[in-house]
Structure 1
């Protein structure tokens, strides 16, 4: 719906609205208080993130991710580091075409896979022409230094600042080669916590170094919403 995409960009873009300034991750404005900002954060039944504990194998098509554009900028909106993109970047699923609007990060990961929490999770946020949302999540595990993350953080923006990347790079390069995934219906993980979001969590994790995790956490802090009840939902698994 149009209201979903409007809510998304009120939340994730820089804004002077009360919504952008009243919520956060500290004790006084953290997730347990988000219901005061948006009722769905407290009352929704299909909220994200979740623990992908007992996925059900299903016959699903491979993800059709057609990313031909580049990551060109990074903004620090006070809640996350969010990258701007250029060019044509699309996810085709359910007979619809979803355009990549931005991607951003959470430290540590918000979704958990069979009880494992990762040091970093990236959310690639897409919208179709009607404003319906689809998120592709990529986990990052501790390992070798990630050169693309180094490019993104080469000029680390302060809160409220947007910087142009010294070297733009292909968005597709951020995706792991293996793109099997888990799928479930969920929500935005930040206020207004709008539901009806298609979630695709890739099974293969990318890597980043411990020092990169520390650098990102020093800027973003712990910006992960606690796990939400699965309720009546089923998580599907594509191998």
Structure 2
């Protein structure tokens, strides 16, 4: 009896002294669990871990409501996207397509390589407080490690064949589906118009790192009602709420 009592006391002390462990997100390795609802929703991200502090304390956070832009220099994004093998990831937060090396954008004379693209519903950015059905984020990085994201708004209309190809190959949560006999080209996810809004922002997911160059195209592309519903069946809402602008300048490039 004394031995069992002693073991119980040691177990209790060990549990009390051990730091709490948060469950990892599906498909994100050992990363802390965060989500768009429940007790780990966006209003709580900054409290989950000190590495997420910018989610609460940052002054240049994304997404924002785009309004009253200042007309700036003419359009100066050059896209150089090439076909890539179709690699679809369902990471527990969104549907993501990883891109092989060789595709890039040139923004103001600076080259950024395309790493991946993914989706949010409803759109994270709003235009004059109006959201779109979905938003596509094309994520790029330059040689210095700085990020530039091109945002494309998706509205209901005609179906998009590239998105249909992606949707047809979505794996289970936490899985990656490499489709060896299929290639896609992100160039087919861009609107004809190249006008865009730009501003200095952040990642829209933890750790909410700042110094991200945001470029949101003015013209949307269309997806069908069925394509919108198909994504919503997997992720009903995966959009961070609008963040304060805090005096940042939003530029319009036409």
TM-score clears 0.5: yes
Could you tell me which residue of structure 2 aligns to residue 225 of structure 1? 240
Q: Distance in 2 between matches of 1:26 and 1:86?
A: 32
- Residue correspondences, number: 227
Distance change >3 Å, CA 26–CA 93, structure 1 → 2 = same
Q: Distance in 2 between matches of 1:160 and 1:103?
A: 17
Instruction: For 1:50-65, list aligned pairs within 5 A.
Output: 50-65=64-79
Shift of residue 26 of structure 1? 1.1
> Which sections of structure 1, spanning at least 5 residues, go unmatched?
1-10
Query: Is 1:31 the counterpart of 2:39 in the alignment?
Result: no
Could you tell me which residue of structure 1 aligns to residue 27 of structure 2? 14
Q: TM-score, normalization: structure 2? A: 0.85
Could you tell me which residue of structure 1 aligns to residue 12 of structure 2? none
Question: 2:95, 2:170 within 8 Å by CA — same for their partners in 1?
Answer: no
Query: Is 1:144 the counterpart of 2:158 in the alignment?
Result: yes
Q: Distance in 2 between matches of 1:195 and 1:230?
A: 13
Question: 2:83, 2:183 within 8 Å by CA — same for their partners in 1?
Answer: no
Q: Give the greater-gyration-radius structure (CA).
A: 2
Deviations 1:45-81 (A, max 9, x none): 0000000011111124421111123251110000000
Instruction: For 1:59-208, list aligned pairs within 5 A.
Output: 59-70=73-84, 72-165=86-179, 167-208=182-223
Q: Distance in 1 between matches of 2:116 and 2:26?
A: 10
Shift of residue 13 of structure 1? 9.7
> Which sections of structure 2, spanning at least 5 residues, go unmatched?
1-23
Q: Distance in 2 between matches of 1:61 and 1:145?
A: 27
Question: 1:72, 1:86 within 8 Å by CA — same for their partners in 2?
Answer: no
Following TM superposition, the consecutive aligned residue runs of length 4 or more in structure 1 with deviations greater than 4 angstroms are none
Shift of residue 15 of structure 1? 2.8
Deviations 1:123-171 (A, max 9, x none): 0000011110000000100011111111001122111111124531222
Shift of residue 187 of structure 1? 0.1
Q: Distance in 1 between matches of 2:195 and 2:64?
A: 18
